[in-house]
Structure 1
């Protein structure tokens, strides 16, 4: 998969370079055919280049950044990247000006290449296509944690896309107000194919296993205690004669 991504990136770079060179050559050749002296346009083209340089600075920066991304392969097609807290997904397209990221919900986000070069981007599959996901579950106090953690680990393997190496791992993360927090960590190798179905299947398997083994998933509860003697109904009526 990594080799295919590298080949795809190189192909994009070469196609962009060839297209740019051919466009320039075709333009110069066309001017020569119609009898326009190219050397006479040197002064005008220089002034035009300065003006365009200021006006198209951002666009030019995006194009340069696009070639940098394609050449150094810091971001490749198929990588899982996190651009900001709200944008995490799979890179589906890299052009000279922008990069397309398909989020886990299916939304496509178009990101200028300059942003990717000048900001911190978390590439979760830069050197390894395997990506870790965490599924949090809370169990009631009094639960046999060894059994609960074993059942969660087994539930992760119900989906064929969950890897057995590294093996799914269950960690006790906190003693919360209503129960004990357990995190199930599992790995998949193809996040570009979506992750929602995997999470749903594992959640359902955990629910069924817990129900069969009498393990409860708690919900928030509040206990209110009144300290002291409560006033009698007669006293309340005397204090509020209009009621």
Structure 2
């Protein structure tokens, strides 16, 4: 294995840095530029602090298109750097007119660095992910700063010298940095492209929701895999060199990621057999709600009380699931009641059917039905059945509306709903023994 640290290359880099410091730092004009940079910085901070409130008020009153809202919101935070940049441009112009261009080198570098930072800050506002935007900004500005200060080539050489070899594979710090940057860029591009394609697929009305989700997930997995492969090949890493570790990786996936892989495969099965799809109303154990989205690992189920349950895909495969809207949205509801024996059962059936049809959520094309279910101890027992097409809006509430409608109708027509009576029958006198309480002494 080669030495990880090349002493000769490091010494050459240090000598280059020392010569650069002696040439550009230790002189009167450099110190003058440092003082000028400090004074202009303080002036920009003071003036920017006073102008920020008026600028924020103007932005709040202005009508900004939604697609440029992120760029406009960042303007108040860029006010001080922008003022500082204007002051530096003026100072640079004055120095170049009054002395040699080489004596304004530090101000020129500061202008270039600050210009690059402002431009990169504005460009990264188009990236929606804050963490990714910050990473892209730091990487882009670092490269720009090294290039502006003529340190890019020495830095590249230094990073490339910090390397080790494994067989025929040589990995340097430069390779790692390039691979990370390339991978981040390709993953961002793959994610953006997959979101665009998913939106286009969701607009195709000929595809069912489950097929749309399946195609979107397959495209995303394919694009991400392709991004990783291209990133590794772009930095010169031969994937065949990693074949030695494939067995260990397979064992690790088999044991450590068993549940994850099971949920992934279960999700694909759910999408293929179309037993579960977005919008379905399901009941799993004590959870009742409608499916909001299908993920690679879990299904999001939203209940009537606003709770969102993330149910693993494996549970939907291995457990009994009640899908209230598997074939269609028509769901039958059932309630039972009893009336007094003095009531006409034919009239009771008619009144109950008419009352059950009054709530707006009860389906009109399938009228309610009412049947005499039996002769109870103190009542005629009936079963009333009706249908709804929106179980996602709840089933307990519509059952309660129908019961109230039946109650009002029975009260209007004088139909009595009996309740059980309990009588105490005494055939023999019950002896009661009394005792006198002894007097207290």
Distance 1:169 1:53, change over 3 A: same
Q: Which is worse superposed, 12-21 or 185-194?
A: 185-194
CA distance in 2, matches of 1:76, 1:5: 15
**Match status 1:95 vs 2:295:** yes
Q: Which runs of 5+ in 1 are unaligned?
A: none
How far does the alpha carbon of each residue in 1:42-80 deviate from its partner, in whole angstroms, 9 at most, with x for none? 121331122122111111111111111111101222223
**Deviation at residue 111 of structure 1 after TM alignment:** 1.8
**Deviation at residue 21 of structure 1 after TM alignment:** 0.8
Query: How many residues of Structure 1 are paired with residues of Structure 2 in the alignment?
Result: 235
Q: Residue 51 of structure 2 aligns with which residue? A: none
- SS of 1:221's equivalent? coil
Q: Residue 13 of structure 1 aligns with which residue? A: 214
Q: Residue 401 of structure 2 aligns with which residue? A: 201
Q: Give yes or no for contact 1:5–1:77 (8 Å, CA) kept in 2.
A: no
Q: Residue 264 of structure 2 aligns with which residue? A: 63
Higher helix share: 2
Pick aligned residue for 1:142 from 331, 337, 342: 342
Q: Give yes or no for contact 2:304–2:393 (8 Å, CA) kept in 1.
A: no
Q: Residue 54 of structure 1 aligns with which residue? A: 255
Q: Give yes or no for contact 2:324–2:391 (8 Å, CA) kept in 1.
A: no
Distance 1:180 1:4, change over 3 A: farther
Distance 1:112 1:174, change over 3 A: farther
1:100-115 maps to which residues of 2 (within 5 A)?
Answer: 100-103=300-303, 106-115=306-315
Q: Give yes or no for contact 2:359–2:402 (8 Å, CA) kept in 1.
A: yes
Question: Which structure's CA Rg is the greater one?
Answer: 2
**Match status 1:76 vs 2:277:** yes
Q: Residue 419 of structure 2 aligns with which residue? A: 219
Could you state the TM-score of these two structures normalised by the residue count of structure 1? Answer: 0.85
How far does the alpha carbon of each residue in 1:87-134 deviate from its partner, in whole angstroms, 9 at most, with x for none? 333223222211233345554333211111122323232222201111
Name the Cα RMSD after superposition.
2.5
Pick aligned residue for 1:160 from 360, 367, 388: 360
Could you state the TM-score of these two structures normalised by the residue count of structure 2? Answer: 0.49
Distance 1:23 1:199, change over 3 A: same
Higher strand share: 1
Q: Which is worse superposed, 10-19 or 139-148?
A: 139-148
**Deviation at residue 178 of structure 1 after TM alignment:** 4.4
CA distance in 2, matches of 1:22, 1:218: 68
Q: Which is worse superposed, 30-39 or 174-183?
A: 174-183
CA distance in 2, matches of 1:214, 1:17: 64
CA distance in 1, matches of 2:246, 2:396: 54
CA distance in 2, matches of 1:215, 1:142: 9
**Deviation at residue 40 of structure 1 after TM alignment:** 0.9
CA distance in 2, matches of 1:170, 1:137: 10
Distance 1:33 1:15, change over 3 A: same
Q: Which runs of 5+ in 2 are unaligned?
A: 1-203
- SS of 2:278's equivalent? coil
- SS of 1:82's equivalent? strand
Distance 1:221 1:161, change over 3 A: same
How far does the alpha carbon of each residue in 1:111-165 deviate from its partner, in whole angstroms, 9 at most, with x for none? 2111111223232322222011112223233222222221111111112221233
